[in-house]
Amino acid sequence: MAKNTVKKSIDFPKETFEKLERLAVNRNQNVSEVIRQLVNKSLNLESSREDIDFIADIIRQELNSIYRLEDIKEILDKQTNRLAKMMMKIGKMSTGQLFLLISMFLEIVDSADEDKFDAILDKSMRNGVAYMQKKDFQVNDFLQDVDNLKNIANEL
């Protein structure tokens, strides 16, 4: 036993002590060594947790002294509104183009081919929905696969 140690008697519930004994056997140590290691580990974790909380408080104070949360929220709100308005414009333009294209095809298609046109329109809309459901990382591969795009177009 080291010179700078203090001896204490500790009472454990029976199940806890049995777990400590099993752990000691698994580690090829005695129960006292296992208890010392577990106590030291717990103290180190608690100390680290206090350090992390302390550092987080400092960071929070610094950020609050530099940036007021109200200012950040105001900036984010303006940018979010700007993006929403841009998306609305894009949606309106896309919808306008869609109906213009449908109108142009209806002018070109004979009334006898209207069923064929309806099928093409239905497939086109389904392909559009499938495209919109793709994840960002899938879009580039999809658009660069020229053979697949040709196959989709030929199926229409």
Give residue-wise pLDDT tens across range 43-67.
887 777 778 888 888 888 877 777 7
Give residue-wise pLDDT tens across range 15-33.
999 999 999 999 999 999 9
Residue 112: pLDDT above 70?
no
**From 83-92, 104-113, 137-146, the region with the lowest mean pLDDT:** 104-113
What count of other Cβ atoms lies within 10 Å of the Cβ of residue 116? 12
Query: What's the whole-number mean pLDDT along residues 81-96?
Result: 90
Contact 156, 123 (CB under 8 A): yes
Q: How far apart are CA 108 and CA 110, in angstroms?
A: 7
Note the pLDDT of residue 7: 86
CA distances 37 to 6, 12, 14, 32, 68, Å, are: 15, 16, 20, 9, 45
Note the pLDDT of residue 107: 80
Distance of CA 41 to the CA centre of its chain: 33
Closest CA to 64 of 77, 76, 73: 73
DSSP state of 112: G
Contact 155, 123 (CB under 8 A): yes
Residue 1: pLDDT above 80?
no
Residue 133: pLDDT above 60?
yes
Residue 73: pLDDT above 90?
no
**Mean pLDDT across the chain:** 85
Query: What's the whole-number mean pLDDT along residues 96-121?
Result: 80
Note the pLDDT of residue 66: 75
Q: What does the block give as tokens for 21?
A: 């004994």
Query: How does residue 126 score in pLDDT terms, banded at 50, 70 and 90?
Result: confident
